[in-house]
Structure 1
Amino acid sequence: MERKTIDLEQGWDYMQKGITELMKILREANDEFMLRELEERWITHKFMVRWLSRFFHYLDPYFIAGRYLPPLNAVGLTCFGVLVYMEVRDNARKAVITRIDREREGEQIDRSLLKNVVDLFVEMDQYEEEFEVQMLEDTANYYKSKATKWIEVESCPDYMLKAEECLRRERERVTHYLHSSTEQKLVEKVQHELLVTHANQLLDGVWALLRDDKVEDLFRMYRLYQKIPKGLDPVANVFKQHITAEGTALVQQAEEASSLVRKFIELHDKYMTYVNDCFINHTLFHKALKEAFEVFCNKNVAGSSSAELLATFCDNILKKGGSDEAIEETLDKVVKLLAYISDKDLYAEFYRKKLARRLLFDRNANEDHEKCILTKLKQQCGGHFTSKMEGMVMDLTLACDNQMKFEEYLRDNTHGIDLTVTVLTTGFWPSYKSSDLNLPVEMVKCVEVFKEFYETKTKHRKFTWIHSLGTCHIIGKFEQKTIELVVSTYQAAALLLFNSADKLNYSEIMMQLNLTHEDVVRLLHSLSCAKYKILSKEPNTRTISPNDTFEFNYKFTDKMRRIKIPLPPVDERKKVIEDVDKDRRYAIDAAIVRIMKSRKVLGHQQLVLECVQQLGLMFKPDIKAIKKRIEDLITRDYLERDQENPNTFKYLA
């Protein structure tokens, strides 16, 4: 085949003619044909430029480089850009955006065609300015229109499903034919129009999702909003408000205070599952859960504080017993609830009171369970929180060893008494009222024998006998049969008075026992007005008065050979609260002195703030109480006011 040779000028004319024909085709063609023609010519042009670069490879490193001229490849691309791209870029951009919108509506398009055309914008270094900006603006308008329609007709779950699907498809578009740098901008546009703009309407639906336990929909909402800056804040706020409302309703509807803690645990389990599963342990939702529980867990119920209710619940669980796994799991949940209670010192005091009764009177008490909860409390609140409780448990262990030695002493010295004494450390145990009870002769002998034994071990300890915690076994000889009576030391002392007197009036009993009016009323009521009427009372009424007379009821009988006569417990709530208030005064004083000792000079506002921060782990101090303690420390010469600025305090060493 004969090749035709043309000179340079003819060749240039030939190329010009070809480009002119191409521009005519591109201008007159419809969108589809124009894009395909542009794609084909662009691919062909790149192919030809690549081969020309190879043909004249020698020129680039030697001839062109020496004259500071652009490489042949760059010149070829520039020619296409100037002669073709600049003429068709607007039409091409519009055609591509139109096809993207058609694809969003569900139409099938040629993605490879769009990718090649988009690559033209990229290689011309005009992608962002000439294509991306317009495409993002069109995207915003498209989804703004869609969101306005959807929010009116779709439910919250259905709307979120569509939003999630739209975001997935937009990311898919970037993968197939858009530049990777567009993904973040494109997603943000879609998120803004679908989620941010209509956030308030969607948040109204969160209440229903929480109420109806729509776990999957909540998880979807979390996925959608977590990538939006501060997008989860309003969701977490609704979560907090919902839990607060539900918990407050439980408090208001609580018929029995004892069951409320169990309901709190169930509520906490439920929403902790939400935090873990729906919100992937996000700190915002942990914080929302904590703040919500702090609101209603610190409300009083039927005159009882949450601290007292929690301590009572623990007491019931430990007294009831059960499998180790079940008890440990329940105690773990109780300790988690304790984290939300501000008056932890009040809980500690109530718990210590109940722990004392379990250790001293409950023979079924499980030491492992007691140590288990103390370990959990120590991890939650620190070693100072449980130090006294741990000392109580240790005391009981030492008391058992001490009792074994005392029994050996009794056997060796043949005293003929049956006595069990538990020696407690004053600093560990709750304070008990130590009355000067006039003990019967039989009991005085027991006390003296134990003193003799203990003095053989040490003479440097002082005993205070807490008779209110004692228990006695006495034999009651009635007309029909003899019955063993298990009574308190107070009750036993009162009953033994009737060994030497047939009848005693109220005043005589009170004088001989040397007890207060309240204690005498309690023990006489338990012996004459309760289930077991060991004493007969004149007049025969249900209450005790100073004019009553009592005598031993020989006609009493019972089907059991051994009965336990309980003494009504004293309501210690008032005393516990008083003790805690007293301890708080000492704690506030210590905190103020610590702060001032390190700072030397400090303003009133800053001192109060630092004091609240230091004491906040155990209780929420009252600002008025802090001010009162500051004034007290000034009168005791720990602090002084600055003469020039009365709101500034100085530490006095």
Structure 2
Amino acid sequence: MAANERKIIDLKQGWEIMQKGIMKLKNILEGLPETQFSTEEYCTLYTTIYNMCTQRPPHDYSQQLYDKFREAFEEDIMSTVWPSLREKHDEFMLRELVERWGNYKFMVGTFYRVSHSLDLYFIARRSLPHLTEVGLTCFRELVYQESKVKVRDAVISLIDQEREGKQIDRALVKNVLDLFMEICMEQMDYYKNDFEAALLKDSAAYYSRKASKWILEDSCPDYMLKAEEYLQREEDRVSHYLPPSSEPMLLEKVQHELLSVYASQLLEKEHSGCHALLRDDRVEDLSRMFRLFSKIPNGLDPITNIFEQHVTAEHTAFVKQVEDAADSKDFARKVIVLYDKCERYVNECFQNCALFHKAFEVAFEALCNKDVGGSSFAELLATFCDDILTNRSEKLSDEAIEEMLEKALKLVTYISDKDLFDEFYRKKLARRLLFDKSARDDRVRSMLTKLKQQCGDQFTSKMELMFTEWMSRKDHQTSFDKYLSYNPDANPGIDLKVMVLAASCWPNYKSSNLNLPAEMVKCVKVFREFYKKEKKDAKLNWIYSLGTCKVIGNFEPRSMELKVTAYQASALLLFNSSDRLSYSEIKTQLNLTDGEVVRFLHSLSCAKYKILNKEPNTESIAPTDHFEFNSKFTNKRRRITIPLPPVDETKKVIEDVATAWKYPINASIVRIMKARRVLDHQQLVKECVEQLMLRRSRKGLRN
């Protein structure tokens, strides 16, 4: 034999060496008195297996070693692992299982490392399972398959105990569940089939029992608090010991039992359901309701419907209050308050969800296109803005006014006929400007800017021209005052202020053939001469109905300054030359209609300030009445304003808007028919509407 020839190791001799190593490792793992493996011992095991796998046939014992290792794994399970588990139950059994599984994995891993030669020269070439897989298979078949039901039930029992508030060993549960996944080589099949399915079934039953009890005992907010708390616990449970893949299905089961099953019953609880939460402004509870029901299929649909019903019920109540009280003054303010409240719900409670945005818009479109107390909402909103800008309703700070106007303009977007709002607001703006009732110029400008941003340039174009002209009124007056100073003979002897405006951008005002008093005739003549020199081709059309005068009333107690309209002043000046005048005489001398005469005579003889005495002394004006100057009239104030009775301009505004649309409609019909030549009526109407809607959108108006 050659000196370097290796000594043959037979199977019996080699396996005895391996058995000693296996026994020593088992003693170490069992905690018996035993020294740790030395480097020399480890090398001996490694070298023995190497030699037995690399000897030439018939002394290559790779197959026999492979089989011996399987037998050693099975023997360890049957002699050590299984007997230790058989007599234990519940949590004690789980602890023993985790410990035995850990020892067993360590033993298999150790001998896999020392048998690298077997893996390299035999297992890889034959495409056989590695020793670790062999070890897992043995444990799965001999331990796992026999104990999986007991293990599963014990783990689920611990989870249920934790759900009831008891403290459990979460690390133990996690280690057991890791075993379910490791035993199938991380494929999750055993975990899903042998544990997860049972866990989901148990969870559904557990929460079904809970929900059936809570729904009878708790209010809606209390129920939701518990549901949210328990859902959070389940999420926490997943993060600590359940695989992430279990979270969607587990939470779906819990949400179904707690929320889906009792959704309608919970949301419609009489004194605490969704209706009550909206009514009582329970923002936190509504937010919780949204968070919970957004997680279940179609869970938000019933809440959306209830929200829309709530908004509709609120504005229906407002309308009834207005109609019962026959006073629509505060209706727009109430709608703004409701809008703020509902917008806060959508933004804060419902997290800007599209479903709630749609319900919100549907409800407010219905509200903002409803007639209230005989007035359209467009008119009421325009009046509200007018009151704010004149600070008539209450004294507000600049910030409060800006905020209120911004809120009001949000409602404009919901009005379908924005042209109606435009016309109402334009008329009120015109009156504020003409009678100098706007609190401040910058507020007027700010409002126009907001309207332009909200509705587009064309919407505010006429109003902007009105404001520009009004701002230039002082220049005209300055020129006229200079003219009078250079021509003292032309001075009428009356302080005259004239506002010259372009008829194209201002509302249409009725012109009358009022017979002015001589004093006023001279004023008109002087200004005409002045203006003719300024602009030769311009034509002046005097609107006496918009004129105001300051008249000195010489009453017996004392003189008093009366601020009146041109009509009222003309009527009063008649009494400078007559002590008593009949209705017909006043009408004839002033050359006015019955409606105009009745209106200003009522303000002078039947209203708050009785400047004229009327016979008979009734509260209405008749053609047979006679009037005398009330020389004994008294008042604590030295200056008083005598307003005319208000005129309902609603009908005229509506007519003006309809007239304004007549020309675009006619033009649209002409364009369509030129292009189509022949078209049936229904199709013509459809295309005409489409063109007009396009025109509206170009103006920046929302449909």
User: What TM-score do you get using the length of structure 1 for normalisation?
Assistant: 0.85
Aligned residue number for residue 583 of structure 1: 660
Aligned residue number for residue 75 of structure 2: 17
Aligned residue number for residue 386 of structure 2: 315
Deviation at residue 397 of structure 1 after TM alignment: 0.7
**Partner of residue 272 from structure 1, selected from 319, 343, 348:** 343
Deviation at residue 456 of structure 1 after TM alignment: 2.9
- Give the distance between the partners of 1:209 and 1:532, measured in 2 at CA: 52
**Partner of residue 284 from structure 1, selected from 355, 375, 382:** 355
Deviation at residue 365 of structure 1 after TM alignment: 2.9
Q: Is residue 137 of structure 1 aligned with residue 137 of structure 2? A: no
CA RMSD in angstroms, aligned pairs only: 3.3
**Partner of residue 485 from structure 2, selected from 388, 411, 416:** 411
Contact kept? 1:150, 1:159, Cα under 8 Å: yes
Aligned residue number for residue 93 of structure 2: 34
Contact kept? 2:491, 2:526, Cα under 8 Å: no
Name the stretch that deviates more: 134-143 or 506-515: 506-515
1:325 is paired with a residue of what secondary structure? helix
Q: Deviations over 1:152-189 (max 9, x none)?
A: 22221221122112111111111121111111111111
- Give the distance between the partners of 1:551 and 1:561, measured in 2 at CA: 22
Q: Is residue 87 of structure 1 aligned with residue 158 of structure 2? A: no
**Partner of residue 293 from structure 2, selected from 206, 209, 225:** 225
Residues 565/32 of structure 1: CA separation in 2 closer, same or farther (3 Å cut): closer
Aligned residue number for residue 181 of structure 1: 245
Match of 2:225, as an amino acid? L
Q: Is residue 390 of structure 1 aligned with residue 464 of structure 2? A: yes
Contact kept? 1:251, 1:296, Cα under 8 Å: no
Q: Deviations over 1:37-72 (max 9, x none)?
A: 332232122222322332234555675445444444
- Give the distance between the partners of 1:144 and 1:110, measured in 2 at CA: 26
- Give the distance between the partners of 1:234 and 1:593, measured in 2 at CA: 48
- Give runs of aligned pairs for residues 199-598 of structure 1, distance below 5 A: 199-204=263-268, 205-254=273-322, 255=325, 256-320=327-391, 322-363=396-437, 365-414=439-488, 415-417=490-492, 418-476=495-553, 483-499=560-576, 504-535=581-612, 537=614, 539=616, 541-550=618-627, 562-586=639-663, 588-589=665-666
Contact kept? 1:345, 1:619, Cα under 8 Å: no
Deviation at residue 441 of structure 1 after TM alignment: 3.5
1:456 is paired with a residue of what secondary structure? helix
Aligned residue number for residue 640 of structure 1: none
Q: Deviations over 1:274-327 (max 9, x none)?
A: 333333333333333333333334333322222222222222222225421121
Deviation at residue 128 of structure 1 after TM alignment: 2.2
**Partner of residue 108 from structure 1, selected from 141, 151, 167:** 167
**Partner of residue 158 from structure 2, selected from 99, 115, 118:** 99
- Give the distance between the partners of 2:215 and 2:675, measured in 1 at CA: 60
2:534 is paired with a residue of what secondary structure? coil
Contact kept? 1:53, 1:73, Cα under 8 Å: yes
Aligned residue number for residue 648 of structure 1: none
Match of 1:513, as an amino acid? L
Name the stretch that deviates more: 604-613 or 168-177: 604-613
Contact kept? 1:343, 1:619, Cα under 8 Å: no
Larger radius of gyration: 2
**Partner of residue 165 from structure 1, selected from 212, 226, 229:** 229
Name the stretch that deviates more: 243-252 or 96-105: 96-105
Residues 89/563 of structure 1: CA separation in 2 closer, same or farther (3 Å cut): closer
Match of 1:398, as an amino acid? S
Structure 1 alignment gaps of length 5 or more: 622-653
Match of 2:78, as an amino acid? T
1:257 is paired with a residue of what secondary structure? coil
Match of 2:228, as an amino acid? E
Deviation at residue 366 of structure 1 after TM alignment: 1.0
Residues 164/505 of structure 1: CA separation in 2 closer, same or farther (3 Å cut): closer
Deviation at residue 252 of structure 1 after TM alignment: 0.8
- Give the distance between the partners of 1:95 and 1:203, measured in 2 at CA: 37
Residues 96/543 of structure 1: CA separation in 2 closer, same or farther (3 Å cut): closer
Match of 1:465, as an amino acid? W
Match of 1:315, as an amino acid? D
- Give the distance between the partners of 2:246 and 2:671, measured in 1 at CA: 58
Deviation at residue 386 of structure 1 after TM alignment: 1.9
Q: Is residue 119 of structure 1 aligned with residue 190 of structure 2? A: no
Deviation at residue 422 of structure 1 after TM alignment: 0.7
- Give the distance between the partners of 2:169 and 2:556, measured in 1 at CA: 110
Residues 591/368 of structure 1: CA separation in 2 closer, same or farther (3 Å cut): farther
Contact kept? 1:435, 1:466, Cα under 8 Å: yes
Q: Deviations over 1:579-637 (max 9, x none)?
A: 2233344455566677888999897385477468658879999xxxxxxxxxxxxxxxx
Match of 1:403, as an amino acid? Q
Match of 1:352, as an amino acid? R
- Give the distance between the partners of 2:87 and 2:367, measured in 1 at CA: 74
- Give the distance between the partners of 2:529 and 2:517, measured in 1 at CA: 19
Residues 243/6 of structure 1: CA separation in 2 closer, same or farther (3 Å cut): closer
Q: Deviations over 1:496-545 (max 9, x none)?
A: 44555565543343333222121122233334444555555555554433
2:329 is paired with a residue of what secondary structure? helix
Residues 566/185 of structure 1: CA separation in 2 closer, same or farther (3 Å cut): same
Residues 74/20 of structure 1: CA separation in 2 closer, same or farther (3 Å cut): closer
Structure 2 alignment gaps of length 5 or more: 1-14, 20-64
1:426 is paired with a residue of what secondary structure? coil
1:181 is paired with a residue of what secondary structure? helix
- Give the distance between the partners of 2:93 and 2:158, measured in 1 at CA: 13
1:54 is paired with a residue of what secondary structure? helix
Aligned residue number for residue 155 of structure 1: 219
Q: Deviations over 1:210-258 (max 9, x none)?
A: 2333332222212212222432222222122122212211221233311
- Give the distance between the partners of 2:568 and 2:218, measured in 1 at CA: 75
Match of 1:462, as an amino acid? K
Name the stretch that deviates more: 561-570 or 589-598: 589-598
Deviation at residue 423 of structure 1 after TM alignment: 1.3
Residues 594/332 of structure 1: CA separation in 2 closer, same or farther (3 Å cut): farther
Name the stretch that deviates more: 439-448 or 606-615: 606-615
Match of 1:310, as an amino acid? L
Contact kept? 2:668, 2:692, Cα under 8 Å: no
User: What TM-score do you get using the length of structure 2 for normalisation?
Assistant: 0.79
2:550 is paired with a residue of what secondary structure? strand
Name the stretch that deviates more: 132-141 or 606-615: 606-615
